[in-house]
Structures are given as structure tokens and as C-alpha cells.
Amino acid sequence: MLSLVTCASVSAFQTSRLAAGRPAMHNTRSLTMMAERTPLIAGNWKMNTVLSEAVSLAKAVSEASSTAPDVDVAVCVPFPFLIPVKDALAGSKVGLGAQDCYYETAGAYTAAVSTTMLDSIGCDYVICGHSERRATFGDTDEDVNKKTLKILSEGLKPILCIGELKEERESGETFTVCDNQLTKGLAGTATPGVDAEAMKNVVIAYEPVWAIGTGLTATPEVAQETHAYIRSWFVENYSQEVADGVIIQYGGSVKADNVDELMGCPDIDGALVGGASLEAEGFGRIINFVK
């Protein structure tokens, strides 16, 4: 078990906590200022709702967002409901997101949805690399990388998901997994990788797989520890400027009763919310978190 400490003291806690063999990590004291980062609360509706429910929920999210002036909000909805939800969000600040895409532009790819299609209907965000896509549908790191690059090339914003399995957490491999998924997800393949300028449009979502839909939630201290490592990864692989600017969401059973404590951590810049985003009142409370 990880020792419980306050979020404010996690940076000092990092050095003693890292086990041998984990990727090296910078001192994160200078990385924990969120003053210039606007939090992003995004709902991932997954394979839920029917049309009437989707429209009603979108309207409720739109209303809830109006009382959270310093928070960016988005909903990532099933493909059939993107256009009606877009209409329901009209006049609000809530961004529209898709839950996945394919990396080819067009062609004989039955049931696939391209970024060109998503852009044409007004999407802002696209989730890529979610653990359910990796585990259930077999998305590889190479697939995730191709999707990330394609989303950016279309002028959309990828929400790149990373996170470890329960056994990887227990064996001390969390940072190694995050390092691997970030390195491969942002790398160049046939084209150059994600550069510092493009990183301004990338959102990182740290979602420990063992906490997704299980009711288990990483304590704020555990979540902050990993978020601080992720931010230090960007110092090492990009620059301090990129690290200071990148939005790093937490995902994994975020609810109305734990969001305040999670959002009190200096390197947590928002949340990617699953099941709790389907309940209007609860998600409204998450959007209007109190620090």
C-alpha cells in the first residue's frame, strides 16, 4: 500500500517512492502550478443512452456548465448522437467529442468513422487509446499513435488515454507503462511525431485501468504521484514549457463525492468521467467542483 500523504507533499514524496527500474523523474516542484491551465471536465458516455436521453443530458450539461466559468467542458457521445447533441449544445461552451476514430481518410473500411467525418459535423475532441478500445477491440500502441496523428492533422484535439492494469500497479510498473504508452502514442511512424506546437492541442487522460467502472478510485495522493510523473515525462521529452501547459486529466470512477479532493491536487487538470457523466445532477456537480 502507498503511504497516505497530502497532495501538497507528494512532490517531496516522489524520490523515496520510486522503486529501482522505474523511469527516472525530475523534481516536480516547479511543475505543480496550474494557474495558467484551464481544467477540462469531459464526459465519456460510452455505449449508453438513446436519442431522447442523449439530447436531454446534453441540455442539462449545457446548463450546468454555465455556472463554471473557469472550467472547460466536453461530452464524448456515441456516433449516432453527435449531430443532435451538437444541436442541443448550441450557444453553450460545451465541446463535442467522439469516442474513437479510424486513421484512414476514406475507403472500404466498413463501420469505420474518419476524422474528416467528425470534423465535418463540428467535433472538437476525439478520445484515443481508451483502455476499453485497447482491451476489447485490440487497439495497439501503433493504432493509437496513428489515430493521434490523424486527429491532430484534422485540426481536432485528441484525448490520449494511458494507464496501468491492476497487476502492473501492484508490481511497481505504473511509471514504466505510462512512459511506454506516451512514447509510442506521441511518436512518429510514417510521419513526424507530435511536436511541441502540436502538444498545445493534446489532452492526456491518466486512467488506471483497475479503477475504470469498478468503483475503485486512486486516492488523490496516488493519482497526484502519477500525474506528477507524467508532467515530468514532458519535461524530459519535450520541455518545461510544454510540461507546464499540457492538460492531464484523471479518469477512474470520478464522482461528485470525490472530485473536489482529486481536483485539489496540483497536477490534476480535470477529469475524464465515465458512468457518473450519465447522471445530469452528479455530472453538474463534477463540473462545478470546489477547490
CB-facing half-sphere around the CA of 210: CA atoms within 13 A: 12
Concatenated DSSP letters of 235-286: HHHT-HHHHHH-EEEE-SS--TTTHHHHHTSTT--EEEESGGGGSHHHHHHH
Region of residue 131 (left: phi > 0; alpha: psi -120 to 50; beta: else)? alpha
- Of the candidates 26, 130, 173, 225, the residue annotated as catalytic is 130
C-alpha cell at 234: 514532458
User: What is the structure's pLDDT at 214?
Assistant: 82
**Residues in Cβ contact with 195 at an 8 Å cutoff, skipping those fewer than 6 apart:** none
Averaged pLDDT, groups of 10, the chain, 291 residues long: 41 34 48 72 98 98 97 98 98 98 98 98 98 96 97 98 95 97 85 90 96 85 97 97 98 95 98 98 98 84
Count the neighbouring beta carbons within 10 Å of the beta carbon of residue 280: 16
Q: What is d(CA 158, CA 148) in angstroms, rounded to the nearest whole number?
A: 6
130 is catalytic: yes
| CA angle in degrees (0–180, nearest 5) for 123-126-129 | 170
Show the beta-strand stretches assigned E in the chain: 40-44, 72-77, 95-98, 125-128, 157-162, 203-206, 247-250, 270-273
C-alpha cell at 210: 483497475
User: What is the structure's pLDDT at 192?
Assistant: 75
H helices of 66-129, in order, are 82-88, 115-120
C-alpha cell at 72: 472547460
- Reduced to 3 states (helix: H, G, I; strand: E, B; else coil), residue 78 is coil
- Of the candidates 207, 221, 225, 227, the residue annotated as catalytic is 207
207 is catalytic: yes
